[in-house]
Amino acid sequence: MAPNDCHKLVNANFSAVNARHEYARYSRQLILPEIGTDGQSALLNSSVSIVGCGATGSTVLNLLARAGVGELTVIDRDFVELTNLQRQVLFNEGDLDLPKALVASEKVRRANSDIIVHDIIKDLNPNNAEDILGHPDLIVDGSDNMETRFLVNDVCIKHEIPWVYCGAVGTHGMVMPIIPRATPCLRCFIPNIPPQGVLQTCDLAGVLNTIPTIVASIATTEAIRILLAKHATDTKLIIYDVWEQTLQKMSVIKNPSCRCCAQSQFEFLDAKKGDKITTLCGRDAVQITPARDGTIKLAELAGILDRIGQVKHNEYTLLFKDPHTDFEMTLFRDGRAIIKGTRDPEAAKSIYARYVAR
């Protein structure tokens, strides 16, 4: 369905709801002076994309769906793992090995059938970012790495889409709304990706399960304020520590020579296009994303690999254990693979080439 058709459908839905005075679902928001009938109508006619569906992203998706944002898109490359369940509150044991975007979108559709929810099971990269993100009214960051955030920043500044940066690790988290042209962008604040090892990650530093939900709530509030054009004009970086109970609001200054928002150099979006091979920090794994999308017949491949090693598959993913090594490969339908048991891109490439003929 084309995005415009979705808007029409949502408009029609809202008019029907309006006509029948069936405001029960949103009644507690409608009486809030901050939202009201006009605000609810604006939310129902808005579109938001959420990049990443981990602890923060899935909570943002859940809250925006229940608040009645008319069209939501969730983009995530991963599948549900046991280590996620401690903090990713939308998932349960029955969801293990299934794609997060798919599980999350199905669950929020069950919570609100008045809205449209799209799920995209893909790795957002320079090859596909502009196509996948399109032109929603707003993007919320639920990603777990700076490379994706810098890419989202490039797309948002280039196409003038407001976005909300957020992240949580350890016991603290941060949120910063970014309005192209009006406020500083992510690169005004962090000019370049810090070298590996400088930033904390959840895989290495751990994360208390209460902080991503708080960060998601702050980010969702900022998202709603932007959609209703009721956001603050002096954007601040909000830093909250749930263990220390400290809240800081830091001013970020627009850099007049920022490569991205001042000079329109979109380095992360214009990065060399080709097969993308990334060592996943702290996970002892390498991800391979082919430059061109294809569709792999997972059931057929499972039949072949079954003769060689241990295979498990469902409609979306195939898990294969190489009997000769300690490598474990998770393959997605679009050809992307995560090779566990190595941090060496060359070793991962050779495993991929050995078992995935393209």
Binding residues for Zn ion, rule: CB under 5 A, are 185, 187-188, 258, 260-261
| Nearest approach, Cβ of residue 189 and Zn ion (Å) | 8
| Nearest approach, Cβ of residue 262 and Zn ion (Å) | 6
Q: Specify the DSSP element, H or E, that contains 11.
A: helix 3-19
Per DSSP, the three-state class of 267 is coil
Q: What is the distance between the alpha carbons of residues 316 and 296, in angstroms, rounded to a whole number?
A: 10
Distances (CA, A) of 357 to 131, 297, 318, 327, 331: 26, 11, 14, 18, 12
Tokens 């046991």 locate to: 82
| Nearest approach, Cβ of residue 263 and Zn ion (Å) | 9
Q: Which is nearer to Zn ion, 196 or 264 (CB)?
A: 264
Q: Which is nearer to Zn ion, 261 or 329 (CB)?
A: 261
Residue 335 zone, left/alpha/beta (φ > 0; ψ -120 to 50; rest)? left
Q: Which is nearer to Zn ion, 187 or 336 (CB)?
A: 187
Q: What is the distance between the alpha carbons of residues 223 and 230, in angstroms, rounded to a whole number?
A: 10
| Nearest approach, Cβ of residue 307 and Zn ion (Å) | 54
Q: Which is nearer to Zn ion, 181 or 307 (CB)?
A: 181
Q: Which is nearer to Zn ion, 187 or 276 (CB)?
A: 187
| Nearest approach, Cβ of residue 204 and Zn ion (Å) | 28
Q: Which is nearer to Zn ion, 165 or 320 (CB)?
A: 165
Q: Specify the DSSP element, H or E, that contains 50.
A: strand 47-51
Burial status of residue 172 (CB atoms within 10 A of its CB: 0-12, 13-18, 19 or more): buried
Distances (CA, A) of 23 to 73, 114, 350: 24, 12, 58
Per DSSP, the three-state class of 272 is coil
Q: Which is nearer to Zn ion, 260 or 285 (CB)?
A: 260
| Nearest approach, Cβ of residue 198 and Zn ion (Å) | 20
- Residue-by-residue DSSP string for 167-184: EEEBTEEEEEEE-TTTS-
| Nearest approach, Cβ of residue 186 and Zn ion (Å) | 7
